[in-house]
Amino acid sequence: MSSHLLLGAETASSLTVRRITPADLWHALAAGLDDFAATPTYAIFLCVIYPLVGLWLVSLAAGYSMLPLAFPLASGFALIGPFAAVGLYEMSRRREAGLEVNASHAFDVLKSPSRGAILALGLLLMAIFLIWLAVAEAIYIANFGYHAPVSIIQFAREVFTTPAGWTLIVVGTLVGFLFAVVALTVGAISFPLLLDRDVGAAIALYTSIRLVIGNPFVMGLWGFIVAALLLLGSLPFFLGLTVVMPILGHATWHLYRKAIDAGAAPRANFPRKERATRSAADFPASLFPTRR
């Protein structure tokens, strides 16, 4: 069972990584926007947690002791975005296939044969997020010691007007960039691939790495676009993420479809049991189970 979780039913040799261009990124974003426009209520419902968690992070920072971690928390939260958007990938997959799409279909991923592999990669992204927080705190302590800021104004003055503050900014930005590259490499297309094909966590991760290595400039541009849109969506008070996150989630599915040719790799089918339509003429007999 563990081998299936890692390798699935197919090897990486059946998956072809295509060369992609910036035009493919714009096409993916346009398709993501189209998916969002078709089902905006459902997408906002799925992503309402993002502004709520953002506001929670702000409340933590209000106590000043958590203030040095406010930016690492807000920026690092995007590291787990590819895992949190799994339901959006499923909605885009169904719409592309011409199937019915409603809010409940986003939770069909819980029935996926790849759910164990999806969870494994999600835990990997969570570990990266937690390590980033630990490293960010260590960088702050190395420059300012263990004392907490007295106020937001005092903290901002120390960060922007002292050598230690600029060291914190430069080193923190460079280290954060490295964590972002790692998270992008892990989650670029691995989760959509797992939803679409029965390939296992290791194969999905390996394929995502192959994509980034084979298209470094275009995937770097994609990372920049994601970061810019997330920054834009964080204003005001993270409320913009209710629009930005669904669009990026849907767009990631379409980027996967542009970037990966799955060939003959078996599909990760998880049939949905539809409720049979009953006629009013069947009442009250329809209240009782029948035997075939």
The burial class, CB within 10 Å (0-12 / 13-18 / 19+), for 113 is middle
Per-residue DSSP letter, 262: -
Nearest alpha-carbon partner for 72 in 128, 121, 144? 128
Nearest alpha-carbon partner for 93 in 151, 150, 35? 35
Instruction: Give the pLDDT score at 267.
Output: 76
State the Cα angle at 29 between 197 and 20, rounded to 5°. 65
Amino acid in position 291: R
Instruction: Give the pLDDT score at 151.
Output: 82
Give backbone dihedrals phi and psi of 16, rounded to 5 degrees, phi first. Answer: -105, 125
Measured distance CA(105)–CA(198) in Å, rounded:
19
What angle do the packed helices 86-96 and 40-47 form, to 10 degrees?
Answer: 160
Quick: pLDDT tens for 212-248: 999 999 999 999 999 899 888 877 667 788 888 889 9
Instruction: Give the pLDDT score at 291.
Output: 40
Give backbone dihedrals phi and psi of 173, rounded to 5 degrees, phi first. Answer: -65, -45
| CA pseudo-torsion sign 77, 79, 80, 86 | positive
Quick: pLDDT tens for 100-112: 887 777 777 888 8
Question: How far are the Cα atoms of 25, 188, 222, 239 from residue 233, in angstroms, in the given order?
Answer: 19, 20, 16, 7
Q: Are 19 and 213 in contact (CB under 8 A)?
A: no
Nearest alpha-carbon partner for 237 in 44, 41, 47, 58? 58
Where the chain has pLDDT below 50, the residues are 274-292
Q: Which residues of 189-211 are buried (b: 16+ CB within 10 A; e: fewer)?
A: bbbbbbbbbbbbbbbbbbbbebb
Half-sphere exposure of 256 (CA within 13 A, CB side): 32
Question: How far are the Cα atoms of 84, 92, 101, 121, 123 from residue 200, in angstroms, in the given order?
Answer: 18, 21, 26, 10, 15
Q: What's the whole-model pTM score?
A: 0.83
